[in-house]
Amino acid sequence: MFTIDQIKAVHSKVKSGADFPQYVQDIKALGVVSYNQYVADGRTVYNGQDHIAEAPAKYQPFTIASTGNKERLAHHLKIHQAGETDYLTFCRHAAEDGVEKWTVDTEKMTCTYYDLAGNVLIEEVIPTV
């Protein structure tokens, strides 16, 4: 079973969006099979085979736009993955783009962004490293 402290230790190595693929590989090695990242406050729920761990809110709440904007989200993802924005800025952009949460599936190696209605805005394949 993994702990939030173990995940925090792995996360401490992440400096930008460019480090995300390695982060996913590292938490997968800990036993995380998926996680939901909630944009409004940064709360994260990590799922293992028979284990769930929740990290509390990380920042003051953002208001999530009522309508998703795939084009703006794609742009904000691109610049974040290139290391041009920090995590908090990306989360603010995601909220403005109507993202309620994203779900990472470490088995399928996907990251899926959902709007408030549960519709998929973007699903990305996470590169292996």
- Tens of pLDDT, residue by residue over 37-78, are 999 999 999 999 999 999 999 999 999 999 999 999 999 999
Band of pLDDT at residue 16, cut at 50, 70 and 90: confident
Q: Cα separation of 38 and 91, whole Å?
A: 9
Tokens of 64: 């999530």
Residue 12's CB: how many other CB atoms inside 10 A?
8
Instruction: Dump pLDDT digits (tens) for 93-123.
Output: 999 999 999 999 999 999 999 999 999 999 9
Contact 64, 116 (CB under 8 A): yes
Predicted structure pTM score: 0.91
Answer yes or no: is pLDDT of 124 > 80: yes
Q: Can you give the pLDDT at residue 15? A: 78
Q: What Å distances lie between residue 106 and 33, 48, 89, 110, 111, CA to CA?
A: 5, 10, 24, 7, 9
pLDDT at 17 over 80: no
Q: What is the mean pLDDT of residues 5-31?
A: 91
Counted residue by residue, the chain has a size of 129
- Walk me through the domains of the chain, giving residue ranges and CATH numbers: 4-125 (3.30.1810.10)
Which stretch of DSSP H or E encloses residue 111? strand 110-114
